[in-house]
Amino acid sequence: KKKKATQHALNSVTSRLALTAPCEVSLWDSDEPVPKAELLKSVQGAHGLLCLLTDKIDAEVLDAAGPNLKVISTLSVGFDHLALDEIKKRGIRLGYTPDVLTDATAELTVALLLATARRLPEGVEEVKNGGWSAWKPLWLCGYGLSGSTVGVIGLGRIGMAIAQRLMPFGVKRLLYSGRTAKPHAAEVNGEFVPIDTLVSESDFIVVSCSLTPETQGLCNKAMFSKMKNTAVFINSSRGAVVNQEDLYEALSSGQIAAAGLDVTTPEPLPTNHPLLKLKNCVVLPHIGSATYSTRGVMSVLAAQNLLGGLQGTDMPSELSL
Ligand code: GLV
Ligand code: GLV
């Protein structure tokens, strides 16, 4: 008997094929996020739900789905959009997409760090608007990685991949903080330090932790005030790890040198947001994992997770709740 699965906003041919064979699929066939009312309606009676990080899966959605729902598969490594306790309580299995997006996200983070530290968007803009009048000794100077100290907040899979990519630039010290010291940190000569030490001693501070109640608003006024005036702050994890008003204050007052953000609150960031008026803030539209091949592999993995959950077999990447 075919099971009913809800899949939406996913235009990957591969995952559609993988899903349609053994399932009856109800698809939100648009790139725009599914409206909540539509989700609440179409999820009714589904055995499986394939969702995106833009879909907040809370008790209301789970109740709308009803007792058929056996598995949720998210096309993301992050799971802060999912009410884990509610999912666990209902005995629903959960799939996500770690590992396959680590390289792409680490690359993007390094690109953002270099673009921010070396002021690439400003330079591009000056070339276009006629601001490029001559080669001038101090014009558009920024900060380099060679000989620097880099601090990674959260040396997990992605944080580690970022560190591995930064070390060859001649980084002198690699500091990291988190709940526990990581054995794999030895590969990058990582020094486990208290977060206060990390923020006060680093030239580059890279946020790569997951968003949890403990990390929500972690990067706030108190933290920015401990940073060097030359510090470059990078976030490619989740916007809510940062208090954006405090970041704006730190950037506009010269408390820190620059920030590069691939994630914000809210997303999308309104075009009139104060952060976008600052030359020393580079904002990207949450594109960490956005390579064609990575999104393709993520789609297949998400489909496999969903099918495993529907069939009651192994899910290639199941989050243990
Ligand atoms: C992207 O932010 C993800 O969680 O996959
Ligand atoms: C830069 O182009 C230099 O020649 O120093």
Q: How much is the pLDDT for 14?
A: 63
**Which tokens go with 199?**
């923020």
Could you give the CA distance from residue 131 to residue 262 in angstroms, rounded to a whole number?
Answer: 27
Concatenating the DSSP letter of every residue in 32-73 gives SPPPHHHHHHHTTT-SEEEE-TTS-B-HHHHHHH-TT--EEE
- Collapsing DSSP to helix, strand or coil, 108 comes out as helix
Packing angle of the helix pair 120-129, 102-117 (nearest 10 deg): 60
Q: How much is the pLDDT for 2?
A: 55
ipTM given for this complex: 0.80
Q: CB of 239 closer than 6 A to ligand 1?
A: no
- In order of their start, the domains of the chain are 3-98+292-311 (3.40.50.720), 102-283 (3.40.50.720)
Q: How much is the pLDDT for 17?
A: 61
Q: How much is the pLDDT for 29?
A: 85
Lowest mean pLDDT across 8-22, 79-93, 284-298: 8-22
Over residues 187-213, the mean pLDDT reads: 98
Instruction: Kindly report the protein residue whose alpha carbon is nearest to atom 1 of ligand 1.
Output: 76
Res. 7: pLDDT tops 90:
no
Q: How much is the pLDDT for 6?
A: 59
Smallest CA-to-CA distance from 155 within 203, 191, 107, 101 is with 191
Contact 79, 96 (CB under 8 A): yes
Instruction: Kindly report the protein residue whose alpha carbon is nearest to atom 3 of ligand 1.
Output: 76
Q: CB of 77 closer than 6 A to ligand 1?
A: yes
Distance between Cα 148 and ligand 2 center (Å): 22
Catalytic residue among 8, 47, 184, 286: 286
Contact 173, 149 (CB under 8 A): yes
Q: How much is the pLDDT for 1?
A: 45
Q: How much is the pLDDT for 8?
A: 47
Distance between Cα 9 and ligand 2 center (Å): 49
Could you give the CA distance from residue 108 to residue 2 in angstroms, rounded to a whole number?
Answer: 40
Q: Which ligand is nearest to the CA of 135?
A: 2
Spatial CB neighbours of 224, under 8 Å, sequence gap ≥ 6:
233, 246, 247, 249, 250, 255, 256
Q: Which ligand is nearest to the CA of 302?
A: 1
Q: CB of 105 closer than 6 A to ligand 1?
A: no
Over residues 77-96, the mean pLDDT reads: 98
Res. 11: pLDDT tops 60:
no
Res. 4: pLDDT tops 80:
no
Q: How much is the pLDDT for 9?
A: 43
Res. 92: pLDDT tops 90:
yes
Q: How much is the pLDDT for 42?
A: 95
Res. 208: pLDDT tops 90:
yes
Q: Which of 75, 81, 105, 295 to mutate to test the pocket of ligand 1 (most atoms within 8 A of CB)?
A: 105
Q: Which of 82, 236, 289, 295 to mutate to test the pocket of ligand 1 (most atoms within 8 A of CB)?
A: 289
